Structure 1
Amino acid sequence: MSAQSLMEPDYTDWIGRQDTREGGVTPNLAAMLNAAVSHDLSPMHHIAPGMVLPSLWHWVAFNEFVPMSDIGRDGHPALGGFLPPLPFRRRMWAGGDVRFDGQFHVGEKLTKLSTIRAVTMKEGSTGKMAFVTVDHVTTGAQGGVVEEEQNIVYLDMPKSFRPPKQTPVPERLAYDERVPMNEVRLFRYSAATYNAHRIHYDLPYAQQVEKYPALVVHGPMQATMAIEAAERHTGKTPVRFSYRVVHPLFHDSDMRVVGALDPAGGAIDIGTATFEGYFGLKARMEWDTGARPSGERVT
């Protein structure tokens, strides 16, 4: 046995592991999500079978219905099934990259192939952490395809809340919208996505165990609201969306949804933000200009 294997577990065997799931977004599920992410400036969709799914709504098509015996203390499915059994108790949705080709529809059969591409151990300012990169390819029965990279970070539970460095929002914006945020919206989104992570609805757990000052706004919800606003303001259909969560946002403060057009054209830098002036989720949406997507990602 090598010195390295004595120091930490080896997750090489998890690389390449795959999971295939079938799902879809029923009219009832689409209506639940619509009610959770809508606000005064966004469209309130008339949900019906065959309606084109708004961007990123396919994320609710494959909710995990694991039994209670397989749920960890944090509310997530316990590690060791598809994802590796990492020795960290705190799980965070870090970001990713999504490429769109075609459309999905309400009621359409969708199939998702997920592949673990990398498990990387790192040392950060707060101690050891692990990054798991998962590739997803979702295909629709009517020909649409979405390819995406998802990054999940795992850390030890902190002794106190240590906020990350703040990333300031630029002053010159194409739009700046206010979205009311509260416990009800977080509950509704958790219900629509069947997300039982307790940081989104269990305030004592969020504060006492994971050391957050308040309930945490879901990263995927922020991404869904950010891309909806970008499409509404530009009138463009995305071919690529890259995103990164740079700071947690909380239920006790309203959220900003912002965007700044790229002067070079073909893209808009977008995200969610606080009224103190820093990003929660930082993202970029690109659309088809007749050229290939730039390959540039959010940093």
Structure 2
Amino acid sequence: MSAASLMEPDYTDWIGRTETREGGVTPNLAGMLNAAVSHDLSPERGVRPGMELPSLWHWVAFPEFVPMSDLGEDGHPALGGFLPPLPFRRRMWAGGDVRFAGVFHVGERLTKVSTIRAVTQKEGKTGPMAFVTVDHVTTGDQGGVIEEEQNIVYLDIPPVFRPPRQVPVPERMAYDERVPMNEVRLFRYSAATYNAHRIHYDLPYAQQVEKYPALVVHGPMQATMAIEAAERHTGKAPARFTYRVVHPMFHDADLRLVGALDPAGGAIEVGTATFEDYLGLQARMEWTT
């Protein structure tokens, strides 16, 4: 039976489903994340209580403490709890839209309310797929608020790796930086985020089961590095950050952090890229003047 026929069940019961979680980023956790995403051009950061939390670091504040018995073959929590039990073996963080108001701090108590907005079936170039859109509102005890839309894609595992269409790097780049990428960095980020998805650390699984040529670099890690570079080069704090993963990046090649200023002002187009001049993550940071 194909995934398309299995999509016949009605998943509208999941739309509007909400969960609330409490969390935060301790100094130890901030240190773990900093060690995973930093590179030679990154700013030196302290990890003391009260330090302003860098952009997107709130993503590590809510680890899922799922029992081993409740994990799927891929290392993700099995579907059918908060997320609907879609009939696909591969799921990935496809992109999102983040809006910032205020800041969070190391050690601050954070609360995240997540709501499933939509479950959408589509027919892609490689077959049927589904998208789940989740809205998150994260608030801090000190008044900061981050509102975001997260898009998760579900699809079948192909018999062989089929790379997507390549999106070229932007023209007239304001910067182009090289970041070393390897198994150790991917392991450290998986550990800091408590992410057990096997495509990031289990090479035989990534190659033999999910048909990737190498370990896959985390999309959220790429976004975190991309926004740090954008802030560092513009000297601006983000009001909005939109991003999408357009091509997988792999552990066996260093990646580039690239950025091109919007001629209209108030924004910069950023992303990660290969040395073959195509993007892995395509993003845009906007700020208020």
Q: Tell me the TM-score normalized by structure 1.
A: 0.94
Aligned residue number for residue 165 of structure 2: 165
Q: 1:110-169 CA distances to partner (integer Å, 9 max, x unpaired)? A: 000000000001111111110000000000000000000000000011100000000000
Alignment of 1:143-158 (within 5 A): 143-158=143-158
Answer whether contact 2:139 2:145 (CA < 8 A) is retained: yes
Q: How much identity, in percent, do the aligned residues show?
A: 86
Q: Distance in 1 between matches of 2:6 and 2:62?
A: 37
Give the 5 Å matches for 1:203-282: 203-282=203-282
1:190 maps to a residue whose letter is S
Which ranges of structure 2 fall in alignment gaps of 5 or more residues? none
Counterpart secondary structure, 1:238: coil
Distance 1:83 1:44 in 2: 38
CA–CA separation in structure 2 for the residues paired with 1:281 and 1:119: 23
Which residue matches 1:296?
none
Q: Does 1:131 align with 2:131?
A: yes
Aligned residues: 286
Q: Does 1:179 align with 2:175?
A: no
Q: Which runs of 4+ in 1 moved over 6 A?
A: 4-7
Query: Could you state the TM-score of these two structures normalised by the residue count of structure 2?
Result: 0.98
How far apart are residue 94 of structure 1 and its match? 0.3
2:160 is paired with a residue of what secondary structure?
A: coil
Amino acid at match of 2:125: S
Deviation at 1:171, TM superposition (A): 3.3
Shift of 1:6: 8.9
Residues 30-41 of structure 1: pairs in structure 2 closer than 5 A? 30-41=30-41
Deviations 1:193-237 (A, max 9, x none): 000000000000000000000000000000000000000000000
C-alpha contact (below 8 Å) 1:34/1:44 kept by paired residues: no
Task: Give the residue type in structure 2 aligned to 1:66.
Answer: V
Match of 1:55 in 2: 55
Shift of 1:170: 2.3
Where does 1:89-100 land on structure 2 (aligned, <5 Å)?
89-100=89-100
Contact in 1 for aligned 2:6/2:87 (Cα 8 Å): no
CA distance in 2, matches of 1:194, 1:9: 31
Question: By how many angstroms is 1:43 displaced?
Answer: 1.2
Quote the RMSD (CA, aligned, Å).
1.2
Equivalent-residue separation in structure 1 for 2:225 and 2:7 (angstroms): 43
Distance (whole Å) between structure 2 residues aligned to residue 211 and residue 171 of structure 1: 32
- SS at structure 1 position matched to 2:167: coil
State the one-letter code of the partner of 2:288. Answer: D
Give the equivalent residue in structure 1 for 2:199.
199
| CA distance, structure 2, for counterparts of residue 38 and residue 198 of structure 1 | 23
Alpha-carbon distance in 2 for matches of 1:139, 1:38: 26
Task: Give the whole-Å Cα distance in 1 for the aligned partners of 2:116 and 2:174.
Answer: 37
Looking at structure 2, the residues matched to 226 and 6 of structure 1 have their Cα atoms a distance apart, in angstroms, of: 37
Q: 1:295 matched to which residue of 2?
A: none
Q: Distance in 1 between matches of 2:147 and 2:137?
A: 5
- d(CA) in 2 for partners of 1:161, 1:6: 23
Q: Is the 8 A contact 1:114 1:135 kept in 2?
A: yes
Moved more, 167-176 or 269-278: 167-176
For residues 182 and 236 of structure 2, what CA distance do their matches in structure 1 show? 30
CA distance in 1: counterparts of 2:56 and 2:219, whole angstroms: 12
